[in-house]
Amino acid sequence: MAKVFCDLKTAHYGAPGHPEAPFRVRRTHERLLAAGLTPELPPVRADAPDVALLHGAGHLASIASGTFADPDTCAQPGMDAIALISLSGALSAADTALAGDPAFSLMRPPGHHAGKDRVAGFCYLNNVALACARLQKKKPALKIAIVDFDVHHGDGTQSLVMGRENTAFVSLHQFPLYPGTGRESRSNCVNVPLPEGTDGDRYLLAFEPALEAVLASKPDLLAVSAGFDAYKEDPIAGLKLDRATFRDIGALLASTRLPRFAVLEGGYSEDLPMLVESFLDGFF
């Protein structure tokens, strides 16, 4: 049975005017309930040892104290606890996928820009990379393919999984755009830069071979960084995907018949709840 994990505590922070806003979780949660999906609290509770699988020794303490310098990434009291709740959703979704059921983590903050000792781009902990590392700690031979379709390059994820055994990574993203990386493929990391204005048809023409590239590693499981900021109405990017494209992306990932989980990354349009529902309609 497909599962959605959500803790509404992650909707209780935010800076005025910041695009990574509480509505992203709160209104999407409402939309999924209306669609017959019932988000659950994550059964796995992330802690410091989970963070230490990939992040540096002082990373969580830095988040707690706010002693970091990134103008896009808010330093607020209790952000370490909120980030751990978000990570809990990813860990729970990963465990669910490994047990055979597709899953989605509806949490914030997102994670794919977070590096070993760096918060960046609204991200504090790299939820997807940590969830994969935790699975592979338990099952070292487990092969995982990470697919990132956020409009921004998953630079933090790439930095954490570059050269990592039994892990393949692909990112499709607008280029040039923040963070300015992802122009070329490297090692086990496949990058697909796309020009501003790319529409759904052209996106899917790029998505299918990109997916095939990481499937060549014969993964046992798919981990998905699900960003919805490539949407045509998103306020901070310039790709032109429509609602149906996200359903198609979900269906292409499901067509692999691999165990799979996805984690919310970006997506800042008021239409985000509708886009997530469409993606899950294909993914589940």
Name the active-site residue from 113, 152, 153, 173: 113
Kindly give, in sequence order, each residue whose CB lies less than 8 Å from that of residue 198, ignoring residues fewer than 6 positions away: 174, 206, 239, 240
Number of Cβ within a 10 Å radius of residue 271: 17
Give me the torsion for CA of 227, 231, 236, 238, rounded to 10°. Answer: 120
Q: Please choose, from the candidates 141, 156, 188, the residue with its C-alpha nearest in 3D space to the C-alpha of residue 266.
A: 156
Cα distance between residue 55 and residue 53, in whole Å: 6
Number of Cβ within a 10 Å radius of residue 61: 12
Q: Which helix (H) or strand (E) holds 4?
A: strand 3-5
Cα distance between residue 103 and residue 10, in whole Å: 18
Cα distance between residue 142 and residue 230, in whole Å: 31
Residue type, position 129, single letter: A
Whether the Cβ atoms of residue 230 and residue 272 lie closer than 8 Å to each other: no
What the block records as the tokens of 261 is 């989980």
Q: Does the annotation count 113 as an active-site position?
A: yes
What the block records as the tokens of 282 is 């294909």
Phi, psi of 252 (to 5 degrees): -65, -40
Phi, psi of 169 (to 5 degrees): -135, 135
What the block records as the tokens of 193 is 């830069």
| Active site amino acids | 113
